[in-house]
Every structure is written in C-alpha cells, then in structure tokens.
C-alpha cells in the first residue's frame, strides 16, 4: 500500500498543510498587532468589528494570536521532534552496534531517564532554564530521544547479526563504516515513522509545560499557553479564549499521528509504540 492510498494519511497531510498554511501565511493576509497591548479593548466578543474571534485579556486579537501561537507550536514540535530523533538514533545505533559494556552502560542511562516520568523531568529542567522557544526545543529534545534510542538499538541489534554486516567485517570493513553504510540506512524507516510521532508528542509536551506555568512569556504565544490561559478566562464566559487553541492542538497532533500511521504502513515497520 503506498502512502497516498491510506486515506487517514492523506487527511493528516491535508490537515497539516492547512494548519501550517493558516499560521505561517495567514498573517500576510490578516494583519493584527501582536506586539502592543490595548487595555481599552480587552475581552471583546467574537464578531466585534475587526476581531472575528474576539480579543484576549490584554487586548490582543485572538485570531491573529492563534496564528502566532501556531507558528511557535509547530516550530517547537518539528524542531524538538527532529532533534530527539537525531540524538536518539545516534545513541541507539552506537549502543546497538558497539554492544558489550558500552551498550549496557548506554542503555542503563536510557532506562534510568525513562523511569523518571517525563513531566517531572521537564518541570525540573524548566525551573533551571528560562523558557524561550530555543530552550523549549532543547528541553523537550533532550529528554524525548529515549524512545528512538531504544528503537534504533533494537533495529541495530537485529541488523548487526545479519549476514551482510558480518560479511563486511570479515572482509575487513571497520565498525564505523558498517554503522554508516548499513545499519543507519536500514533503520531509516523506523526512524522516520518514529520522528513523526515524536513531533506530535513534542507539541503535546509544550502544552503540558505551559499548563504547568512554564511556557514562553508574552508577547510570544503558543497554543498550549493560550489554552491554559483560556482555562482561567473562560470562567467569565470567554469561551473564544479556550476552545480555539484546544481544538487547534488536537488537530495538529492528530495530523502527525495520521501521517505517522500512513508512513508506518509504507515502511512496513512494526513499532512497539501503540
């Protein structure tokens, strides 16, 4: 089955393109002031002239803010997902291929970090560093690589035992060369599929961090932060501050999951995840 025969995958790609298009291209057509607050027009209801989705507690236009927040969420998600995948792939491949004590040591580190619940780790990290976009990417990337590391190591172990790698060695090839030439390319399917899920998870992590009060400070915004701010605001009937960012997060995470599912079928990799 090719990727585009998978209907959910197509839906996923379309969703992603749509959301990314609105967030990144939207501001070109729908220009709002997301820098200056306007305390004279706070909590305007949707439909107020010039504010189709209303305004928030300091007078920012909510629709424009959604676009801005979406940019952050998508960028952080993609970057953190890719970073985690790269680190995890290298770690796992080295461990799997090196084997022996190096493998044991490297994988115990992974086990140990995995046994601390990720939100606990994130909270510790976030109290150390000041949240900003690059920092969020680093924090999430620094802890989300554990899953890919395990997967790739498993892949590497299987591949290592395969004949051609052994053959290469017997023909005098070096270990490093074997990793580069064979193990990584063979594991690439696993890695790509996993990366897609990593992106989805990273976007969720940003939302959780924001919920815990550790999101990016204003005037920057992200969907997770807007959603958790919305929790406080909706109380007074300001539903437009709550549901739009919530739905946006769900849609983007769904999109990446659909894409990941489609890719999995294409690469025919079996992941232990889900």
* Nearest alpha carbon to residue 132 among 50, 212, 72: 72
Q: Of residues 81, 96, 224, 244, which one binds another protein by CB under 8 A?
A: 224
Contacts of 197 (CB under 8 A, 6+ apart): 256, 257, 260, 271, 273
Please give the Cα distance from 243 to 245 (Å, whole number): 6
Cα–Cα distance, 190 to 260 (Å, whole number): 10
- Rule CB under 8 A: say whether 49 interacts with another protein: no
Contacting range for another protein; rule: CB under 8 A; set: 18-26, 61-69, 74-82, 118-126: 118-126
Host H or E run for residue 137: helix 133-144
User: Any residues with CB less than 8 A from the CB of 206 and at least 6 apart, and which?
Assistant: 72, 73, 76, 77, 136, 140, 215, 222, 223, 224
- What gap in Å lies between CA 1 and CA 87, rounded to an integer? 30
* Interface size with another protein, residues (CB under 8 A): 65
Task: Report residue 57 as tokens.
Answer: 């507690």
Residue whose CB is less far from another protein, 83 or 126? 126
Nearest approach, Cβ of 171 to another protein (angstroms)?
Answer: 26
118 binds another protein (CB under 8 A): yes
Q: Is 227 in the site for another protein (CB under 8 A)?
A: yes
Q: Which of 139, 242, 259, 266 binds another protein (CB under 8 A)?
A: 242
- Is the separation of the CB atoms in 138 and 75 below 8 Å? no
Task: Pick one of 4, 45, 102, 111: the residue that binds another protein (CB under 8 A).
Answer: 111
Q: Which is nearer to another protein, 25 or 129 (CB)?
A: 129
Which tokens belong to 221? 């915004």
List 53, 139, 151, 249, residue binding another protein (CB under 8 A): 249
18-26, 80-88, 170-178, 236-244 -> range binding another protein (CB under 8 A): 236-244
Closer to another protein by CB, 50 or 117: give it. 117
237 binds another protein (CB under 8 A): yes
Stretches 64-72, 90-98, 163-171, 206-214: which one binds another protein (CB under 8 A)?
A: 206-214
| Spatial distance between the Cα atoms of 18 and 217, rounded to a whole number of angstroms | 27
Tell me if 35 contacts another protein by CB under 8 A. yes
Listing DSSP states for 78-131 in one string gives HHHHHHHHHHHHHHHHHHHHH-HHHHHHHHHHHHHHHHS-HHHHHHHHHHHSPP
How is residue 78 written in tokens?
């993609």
Q: Which residues lie near another protein (CB under 8 A)?
A: 8, 35-37, 39, 42, 57-58, 108-109, 111-121, 123-125, 127-128, 130-131, 157, 200, 204, 207-208, 211-214, 217-219, 224, 227-237, 242, 246, 249-251, 253-254, 257-258, 261, 270, 272, 274
């Amino acid at each position: 089955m090719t990727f585009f025969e998978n209907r959910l995958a197509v839906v996923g790609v379309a969703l992603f393109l749509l959301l990314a298009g609105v967030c990144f291209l939207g501001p070109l057509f729908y220009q709002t002031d997301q820098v200056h607050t306007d305390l004279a027009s706070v909590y305007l209801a949707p439909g107020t002239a010039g504010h189709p989705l209303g305004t928030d507690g300091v007078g920012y236009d909510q629709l424009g803010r959604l676009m801005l927040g979406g940019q952050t969420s998508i960028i952080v998600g993609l970057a953190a997902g890719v970073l985690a995948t790269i680190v995890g792939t290298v770690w796992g491949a080295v461990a799997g291929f090196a084997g022996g004590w190096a493998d044991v040591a490297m994988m115990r580190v992974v086990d140990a970090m995995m046994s601390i619940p990720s939100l606990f780790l994130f909270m510790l990290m976030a109290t150390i560093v000041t949240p900003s976009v690059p920092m969020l990417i680093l924090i999430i990337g620094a802890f989300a690589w554990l899953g890919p590391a395990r997967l790739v190591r498993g892949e590497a172990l299987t591949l290592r035992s395969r004949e051609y790698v052994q053959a290469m060695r017997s023909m005098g090839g070096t270990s490093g060369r074997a990793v580069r030439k064979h193990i990584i390319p063979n594991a690439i399917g696993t890695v790509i599929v996993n990366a897609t899920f990593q992106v989805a998870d990273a976007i969720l992590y940003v939302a959780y961090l924001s919920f815990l009060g550790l999101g990016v400070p204003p005037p920057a915004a992200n969907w997770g932060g807007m959603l958790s701010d919305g929790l406080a605001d909706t109380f007074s009937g300001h539903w437009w501050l709550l549901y739009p960012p919530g739905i946006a997060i769900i849609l983007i995470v769904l999109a990446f999951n659909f894409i990941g599912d489609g890719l999995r079928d294409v690469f025919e990799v079996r992941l232990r995840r889900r």
